[in-house]
Amino acid sequence: MSGFFKPYEGSRPFLFISYAHRQSDAVLDTIRILHEKGWRLWYDEGIPAGSDWPANIAQHMHSCERVIFFLSARAMESHNCYSEMKTAARMGKPILIVRLDNTTPDENWKIILDGNTEIPLLDSAAWRAEEILRSGFLPRRLHRSWTEQISWPGLGLVASLLLFLAAAGTLAALTTGTWSPSPAAEIPAETTAPRVTPTPVPVVELGEAERFFAVSFPDKQQEQAIRRALDNPADAIYRWQIAEIPELYFCGNMSVGSKAAVTFDADGTCRVNGAPVIQGKVSDLRLIESMVKLERLALICQPLDDLSGLSGHRLLRELSLAGSSVDDLTALRELPSLETLHLEYTGVRDLTPLEALPRLKTVTVSRNMLPLRWSEQAAFTVVLIRES
C-alpha cells in the first residue's frame, strides 16, 4: 500500500474522498496518483487526533466542491460512508462513483447514488485513476496551480537571483534595433534563452452540460487531424476532450500524427515524413482556438491572414507556419512559452515582434525570406535551412 500523504487544507476548490477504511489500500493507491498529478483532495487522514470527528467531516463536506465515492459492499455497510453520501446528496454535491466490487446498492443507497456518474470495476489503481481523469468529472479549477506546487521555504537568495535574471532577459528581448544579414550569410545555430518564471496552466471553464456537447467539425481536414490526435476514429468527441489536446498537425489537406520535422526539397516542395504536403485550407480555426493545452501545433501551407486566434495558447512551445501565407507576426507576442518557430517559405520579413517572447530559442527561415529584420539584442537564434 502507498503511504499516507497530506490531504489538502485551504480555501481553494477541492475533492472530498469517501471510502471504507477496511479498503484503504486500494483507495489510497488510487487517490495518491491523483494527488501526484496535482489534484487537490481531502480524505479523513487530515483530521487531527483528538478533534471532533463528525464536525470535521461535516466541515470538509460543506467546503468541498465535488465528491469521489469508492463503492463496495464494505462501504455500504459503513455508517460513516452512508452519512457522508447522504450529506453530499442533500447539499447537491456532484458525486463520482468508483466501483471496487460488483455489489448492488440497496434501495436506500440507490436513492442517494442514482443519477451520478459511475466508473466501472477495474483491476488496478492506475486504471481507476486514469478512468477518473478521462471521465471529465474533474474541472481544472480543482488542480493545484504551479505556485502551490513550489516549496517556497529555503529559496531565499536563489529565488531572488532567478527573478533578476528573468527580468534582465525580458528587458534585453524588448530592446529595439535592426540588423539585416546578407542573403548568403549563415546564421549561428545556438543561443542561450533567459530563464523565466513558469507559465500558469490555462483553464477552460465549461458548464456541466457544455462539457458533454459533441463537437461539430467545420471540415473533414480538422476532423481527421483531431480524431487522430485523440485516437478516436469513429465515436463522438466532446468539448472537454478538445480542450485537453496537447499537439495537433495540419499540412495542407493532409493531417500528420507525427513529431517529425518539416523538410523542403530543392524546388521548395514541403514534406513531412517524406510525403509531399498537399495545398489545402483549414476553413475555420475556432476549434483550435479552444485547445488551450496545445504544446505543439503545425499549420503548414495554410492561407493564414490572421494569427490572433493563437493568442490564448499560453503553453504552446513549438509552432510551424512553414509554407503558409502569414507575413505579420505581431499576434505571436502573446505566446509566452514558445521556444521554437518554423517560418520557412512564408512572407515574413520582420522578426522584431518575436523579441517580446522570453523563451524563444530558435526561429527557422529559408533563403527566399532574406533579408530579414530583427534586433542584435534578440535572445533567439535565427537558423537558415540548408537547401539541396
pLDDT, tens only, 181-240: 334 344 444 444 334 444 444 444 444 444 556 777 777 777 877 888 888 888 888 877
Q: What is the pLDDT of residue 208?
A: 46
Q: What is the pLDDT of residue 300?
A: 84
Give the residue ranges of DSSP H helices in the chain. Answer: 24-36, 53-63, 73-77, 79-91, 107-113, 125-134, 156-174, 220-230, 239-243, 286-289
**What is the grid cell recorded at 124?**
488496478
Q: Name the strand (E) or helix (H) holding 18.
A: strand 15-18
Is the confidence at residue 132, as pLDDT, over 80?
yes
Q: What is the pLDDT of residue 248?
A: 82
Q: What is the pLDDT of residue 18?
A: 94
Q: What is the pLDDT of residue 338?
A: 92
Q: Find the largest Cα–Cα distance for the chain.
A: 81
Q: What value does the mean pLDDT take over residues 300-323? A: 83
Is the confidence at residue 3, as pLDDT, over 70?
no
Count CB atoms within 10 A of the CB of residue 194. Answer: 17
Per-residue pLDDT reduced to its tens digit, 44-74: 875 555 556 778 888 888 899 999 999 999 9
Count Cα neighbours of 195 within 13 Å in the Cβ-side half-sphere: 8
> CA-CA distance, 157 to 195, in Å (whole number)?
16
Q: What is the pLDDT of residue 264?
A: 58
Residues in the chain: 388
Per-residue pLDDT reduced to its tens digit, 334-356: 888 999 999 988 889 999 999 98
> CA-CA distance, 357 to 338, in Å (whole number)?
7
* Confidence label for 17 from pLDDT (cuts 50, 70 and 90): very high
Indicate the pairing of strand 247-251 with strand 117-119: unpaired
* Confidence label for 319 from pLDDT (cuts 50, 70 and 90): very high
Mean of pLDDT over the chain: 76
> CA-CA distance, 118 to 3, in Å (whole number)?
26
> CA-CA distance, 99 to 113, in Å (whole number)?
12
Q: What is the pLDDT of residue 178?
A: 39
